[in-house]
Homo-oligomer: A and B are copies of this chain.
C-alpha cells in the first residue's frame, strides 16, 4: 500500500520548502513571486504523484470545512429527498460536501445533530427545524454560522428562511374543490403548530369562511403508522356523511386517505373529491388521477443554496435576514381519456 503523499514529501523531493509547494498548489505562485521553473516542477511532481491535499489538515488550519450540515425530518421522504438531491448537486459543483441527517422532527435528535455537526466543524447549516429547537439555532447564528431554515421557520427568530406560500396553496386547493362542486370540504392534516402546517390550516379556514362553511378538520399525530392513519381517516369520513371533498395537508396523508376512501368503497370524485397539498409523481397514476398543490422543489433547493453562498460570502455582522416565499403551483388532474371513452366500463 503506497502511502499518501503530503506537501512535505513534495517539498523534500524537490528541495524546496513546504511553504513554496503550498503557494504553488494554491495558485498563489505569482502573488508570492515563486519562479516559473520552480512552479512548474512542483506542479509536475504533484501531477505525477497524484497528490491530493488532506482537507482535514486544511480545515484544521483554516477553520473552514466547506461542509454543509443538512437536517431534515427524514431523508427518505420524497419531499426532503428531492430537495436534498438538488442541494447536493449544486453544493458539489461549488466544492462543498454535505452531511445529511434525519431529525424525525424530534427536538432532541436535532439538538444532538447540531452538537455532532459542530464537533465536525460544519460551517453552515440547512435545516428543516423540528419544534423547540429555536434556541439552539439562535446559538448557531450567534456563533456566526450561516443558517438557512426551510419548509418551516420560527417567526420570532431572525433567520434566513426559504418557504412556500402554504396559505395560498391550501386556499387555492380549497377553492378548486368548491368550484368543482364540493360544498362540504374536510381538511386532514397533522397535529402540528409549526408554521407550514399552521399556514395550510389558515388557508383552508379562510377559504371555507368565504362561503360560510364550518370547519371540518381531522388532525393526526405526527409519525402515525400508515395503517392507523387509514383507520382514523375512515372514521372521519364516516362521521361526516355530508362531506363531499377532502383536502389533505401532506401527500402521505393523501395516500392514507386514498386507501381509506377505497376501503370504504366511496367513489372519487363523485362521492368525494380529493386534493393533496404536496404533489407526488404517483397522483397521475391513480384512477382517477389526483390534483395537488405542487411545491417548486428545484426552486427551493436553488434558493437555499444561493442564499447560503451569499451568506458565506458575507461577514456575519452584515448578513441580512430574509424570508423567501416561493409560490406553489396547483396541478389540476382530470380523469384521462379512458374515463371518457368508456364511461360505463365495469370493474
Interface residues of A (CB under 8 A from B): 1-2, 4, 52-57, 59-60, 65, 74-76, 78, 81-82, 84-85, 88-89, 92, 97-102, 115-116, 118-121, 142-144, 226, 255, 258-259, 262-263, 265, 267, 281-282, 284-287, 316, 336-339, 341-347
Contacts and interface: CB of A to CB of B under 8 A. Distances in A.
A119 B59 contact: no
In the complex, the 6 A-B pairs of residues with the closest C-beta atoms, listed nearest first? A76-B85, A76-B81, A55-B119, A56-B121, A81-B81, A282-B282
B59 A88 contact: no
B65 A76 contact: no
Nearest to A142: B1
A287 B265 contact: no
A74 B85 contact: yes
A102 B81 CA distance: 12
Contacts of A101: 88, 92
B342 A1 contact: no
A345 B266 CA distance: 12
Contacts of A2: 143
A74 to B, nearest CB: 7
B88 A100 contact: yes
Contact of A118 (B52, B82, B282): B52
B98 A99 contact: yes
Contact of A119 (B53, B81, B265): B53
A282 B263 contact: no
Contacts of A60: 54, 56-57, 60
Nearest to A226: B281
A341 B76 contact: no
A121 B55 contact: yes
30 contacts: A1-B143, A1-B316, A4-B143, A52-B119, A54-B60, A54-B119, A55-B120, A56-B60, A56-B121, A60-B60, A75-B75, A75-B88, A85-B102, A88-B102, A258-B285, A259-B284, A262-B285, A262-B287, A262-B336, A262-B338, A263-B336, A263-B338, A267-B347, A282-B285, A287-B347, A339-B347, A343-B346, A345-B346, A345-B347, A346-B346
